[in-house]
Amino acid sequence: MRRRTLTAPLPVLNRMLSQKDAAMNLFTQIRTLVIETLNAMQAEGALPEGLDFANVAVEPPRDPLHGDMATNAAMVLAKPAKMKPRDIADALATRLGNDPRVVSAEVAGPGFLNLRLDADLWHGVLRTALKQGTAYGRSDMGQNKRVNVEYVSANPTGPMHVGHTRGAVFGDALASLLDYVGYDVTREYYINDGGAQVDVLARSVYLRYLEAHGQEVAFPEGTYPGEYLVEVGAALKDKVGGAYVDQPEEVWLQEVRVYSTDAMMDLIRGDLKALGVEMDVFYSEKSLYGTGRIEAALKALDAKGLIYRGTLEPPKGKLPEDWEPREQTLFKSTDYGDDVDRPVQKSDGGWTYFAPDIAYHFDKIERGFDMLIDVFGADHGGYVKRMKAAVAALSDNRVPLDVKLTQLVKLYKNGEPFKMSKRAGTFVTLRDVVDQVGRDVTRFHMLTRKNDAPLDFDFDKVMEQSKDNPVFYVNYANARVHSVLRKAAEAGMTFTDADLAAADLSGVTHEAELTLAKKIAEWPRLVEIAGRTNEPHRIAFYLYELASDFHALWNRGNDTPELRFLQEGNTDATSAKIALAKATSVVISAGLGILGVTPAKEMR
């Protein structure tokens, strides 16, 4: 059966190869062809038995002049097969050349095999994109595994600021990306409402409450003087009247804590909404206290012999002033790759912040997730190892935890650094950013950099309508497609995607057109790479390249009328050209959808 694939007619081949790969990813299709051919070669004795084809790759060549796709098969197999790479490559080339999809197969360099593919394959890609719409590129790579993406998790002590914004956008895009490649994704926010910072919040709100009662108040060190608490204090006054005035903390602290965190979470939910982020779960840290959850998690670790009483060595090189040896309850995280064991209980018997975090991740494991992802700010980098250790220990290495760190956002205004200072009140919040530049621009721009690289955000530049601005450039490409569709309709030509998918595309042959089609063919592959690496920024970069190829073709139309999408008075030719344009738009829409950006149909 496998050998027959070499001589089977094209439609049969396509059907056979497409079943598993859903026919969407041309690269995996061709890779399958290569593997099948290698199998056939083994059966014929042209290759020794027992070779591992896992490292055989089919990739786009760096230089398009080399062809459409390249495979490293000969080089990877040369050693285990005890053959010369050229010999394998030659034999493989001859056989692949017999496949109707392969126009030419040439050996190059040290043993690369460069393939040129029949133009109809690229046309097929366009048809697939038009038929499947924004589902084109979806993958079953995730096998419906359940993944929990925890992101934002800002302390409920104030509005979200720019740093949170990046984490929110990144986490949200990552979650969408994973959904797109076939994971069952839960978006989750961990509310840090259990620690001492909530007491600080409560006291700050209390001061605003007194202020609402006409008292003169001062905000000592260690309280939050932010204006945003004024209305919370006033609202508290409306609720309880003068009940807490001049009362000791025992009377009001618990109540005000709850009241304040609720108010802050309302604020944060509003911020998230403004950014278009919708969480599936808000998980309260506080809910872990006094419910036995923390104790249960630590007991699970204890059962594995990972909890003990001990005294840590002082950190070398930089001894804290008030250092003194202290016996604590420790988690033996060094068994799982951490540098030192970590305390879970303070000397006064209370939990450290790490304890509820362990319990929280234990809870995620118990909820049955196959994979966990935490998105933290880069300043929490030192926390990664212990968290991974805890998850590894609690799940017996079954549940992988990937921690993604987001680097700083540096703000600029017209090229000048924009200094932030909480004291001076120039504290830039998520709302400031979204209100000024809009949700889409914010989201896209936040993803134009790898998560662990610092990001420049210039309020003016991100709004610029020019090629220099990726947000604009990508949207502009999409707008141009829709402009063509509108113009075509004015000229009496309207096309549904089904019309376009059924159109005769044999006229789409120009190099600039095929370049664009090939870029569209790369989309499913790119998505899988981005999904595998948990790197949504790759989507943004790809979209920029796709837009660039589209604009290049568009510009060619200025000099070469045959390359214009709109061919006056020629419905057939126009439908083929527009199929290409619309397929581009489909991919842009799919990509922007993952990033959480609304594709623009026109520029204003």
> Hey, which residues between 262 and 301 contact RNA (CB under 7 A)?
285
Alpha-carbon gap, residue 176 to 491, rounded angstroms:
38
- Residue 457: strand, helix, or coil: strand
Out of 565, 576, 586, 596, which residue is the one contacting RNA (CB under 7 A)? 565
Out of 510, 541, 571, 598, which residue is the one contacting RNA (CB under 7 A)? 541
Cα 235 to Cα 172, 249, 271, 500: the distances in Å are 32, 19, 20, 58
Alpha-carbon gap, residue 402 to 408, rounded angstroms:
20
Q: Within 570-599, which residues bind RNA (CB under 7 A)?
A: none
Count of C-beta atoms within a 10 Å radius of residue 125: 24
Cα 205 to Cα 64, 155, 246, 509: the distances in Å are 63, 15, 14, 68
- CB of 341: closest distance to RNA in angstroms? 10
Q: Which is nearer to RNA, 244 or 554 (CB)?
A: 554
Helix, strand, coil shares, percent, the chain, to 5: 55, 15, 35
- The conformation of residue 214, written as its DSSP 8-state character, comes to T
Out of 163, 167, 171, 194, which residue is the one contacting RNA (CB under 7 A)? 194
Alpha-carbon gap, residue 165 to 154, rounded angstroms:
10
Tell me the window of 54-62, 359-367, 413-421, 431-439 that interacts with RNA (CB under 7 A): 54-62
Out of 14, 42, 287, 483, which residue is the one contacting RNA (CB under 7 A)? 483
Q: Which is nearer to RNA, 133 or 350 (CB)?
A: 350
SS (H, E, C) 233-292: HHHHHHHHCCCCCCCCHHHHHHHHHHHHHHHHHHHHHHHHHHHCCCCCEEEECHHHCCCC
User: Is the separation of the CB atoms in 478 and 599 below 8 Å?
Assistant: yes
Alpha-carbon gap, residue 415 to 326, rounded angstroms:
51
Closest CA to 381 of 452, 284, 486: 452
80 belongs to the binding site for RNA (CB under 7 A): no
Number of residues that bind RNA (CB under 7 A): 97
- CB of 39: closest distance to RNA in angstroms? 18
499 belongs to the binding site for RNA (CB under 7 A): no
Site string for RNA, 421-450 (x = CB under 7 A): ----------------------------xx
537 belongs to the binding site for RNA (CB under 7 A): yes
60 belongs to the binding site for RNA (CB under 7 A): yes
Q: Which is nearer to RNA, 336 or 554 (CB)?
A: 554
Q: Within 389-408, which residues bind RNA (CB under 7 A)?
A: 405, 407
Q: Which is nearer to RNA, 194 or 596 (CB)?
A: 194
- CB of 98: closest distance to RNA in angstroms? 20
Q: Which is nearer to RNA, 258 or 378 (CB)?
A: 378
- CB of 499: closest distance to RNA in angstroms? 18
Out of 5, 28, 72, 395, which residue is the one contacting RNA (CB under 7 A)? 72
327 belongs to the binding site for RNA (CB under 7 A): no
